[in-house]
């Protein structure tokens, strides 16, 4: 098993989402001897935002790109290759203002590329990152699970599914800012979710 662990919080390893992601990875390693783990911390290594310059680079023929354009495309190519090379993804995702952090959105924008990670067919779009499992290590200050104001999980399942990543397993640690007892319950629920996801 090859695991790609993504930390999306700007708080790096101190984040609750990173803590939950570490728990997921440890459980996977315990079940799969010799599992290899690649850790990408998006706070330590921010992804170039898909702005006008980055779009211009992607749509410029390779032999006509400037050095700056070539660097952006090479960065995105490496991120895509990294996902392709792993069979399991563990995304540490905090909730910021009901959505995902900008760090994770930039990573998603970088790996979502027509003709590479998805394509359009006569029958509609087809995701090309198939046969992988994604664990969402979710950390929230309040309680949002299965509520209308949880826009995070539906968004992630939609965009990941569009890329062919349809086996998505959420692990919820919630209520973490609602006092020590609520936080303890939140981490206990994450452990229960993880056990169910691995069953």
User: How far, in Å, are 12, 25, 31, 152, 153 from residue 19 at the CA level?
Assistant: 10, 10, 19, 19, 19
Q: Could you read off the pLDDT tens digit of each residue along the chain, which spans 199 residues?
A: 999 999 999 987 689 999 999 999 999 999 999 999 999 999 999 999 999 999 999 999 999 999 999 999 999 999 999 999 999 999 999 999 999 999 999 999 999 999 999 999 999 999 999 999 999 999 999 999 999 999 999 999 999 999 999 999 999 999 999 999 999 999 999 999 999 999 8
Task: State pTM to two decimals.
Answer: 0.95
Supply the pLDDT for residue 14.
Answer: 83
**Cβ 6 vs Cβ 104: under 8 Å:** yes
Fold assignment, 2-198: Rossmann fold (3.40.50)
- φ and ψ at 42, to 5 degrees? -75, -10
Residue extents of the structural domains in the chain: 2-198
**Cβ 49 vs Cβ 55: under 8 Å:** no
Q: Coil, strand or helix: which one is 180?
A: helix
**Cβ 31 vs Cβ 97: under 8 Å:** no
């Amino acid at each position: 098993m090859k695991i790609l662990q993504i930390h999306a919080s700007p708080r790096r390893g101190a984040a609750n989402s990173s803590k939950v992601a570490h728990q997921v990875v440890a459980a996977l390693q315990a079940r799969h001897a010799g599992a290899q783990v690649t850790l990408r911390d998006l706070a330590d290594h921010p992804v170039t935002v898909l702005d006008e310059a980055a779009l211009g680079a992607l749509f410029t023929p390779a032999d006509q790109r400037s050095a700056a354009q070539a660097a952006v495309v090479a960065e995105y190519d490496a991120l895509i290759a990294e996902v392709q090379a792993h069979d399991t993804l563990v995304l540490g995702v905090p909730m910021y203002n009901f959505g995902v952090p900008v760090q994770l959105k930039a990573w998603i924008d970088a790996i979502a590329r027509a003709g590479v990670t998805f394509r359009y067919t006569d029958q509609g779009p087809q995701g090309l990152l198939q046969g992988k499992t994604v664990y969402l290590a979710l950390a929230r200050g309040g309680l949002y699970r299965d509520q209308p104001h949880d826009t995070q999980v539906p968004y992630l399942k939609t965009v990941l599914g569009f890329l062919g990543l349809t086996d998505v397993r959420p692990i919820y640690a919630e209520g973490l800012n609602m006092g020590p007892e609520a936080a303890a319950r939140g981490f206990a629920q994450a452990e229960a979710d993880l056990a169910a996801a691995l069953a």
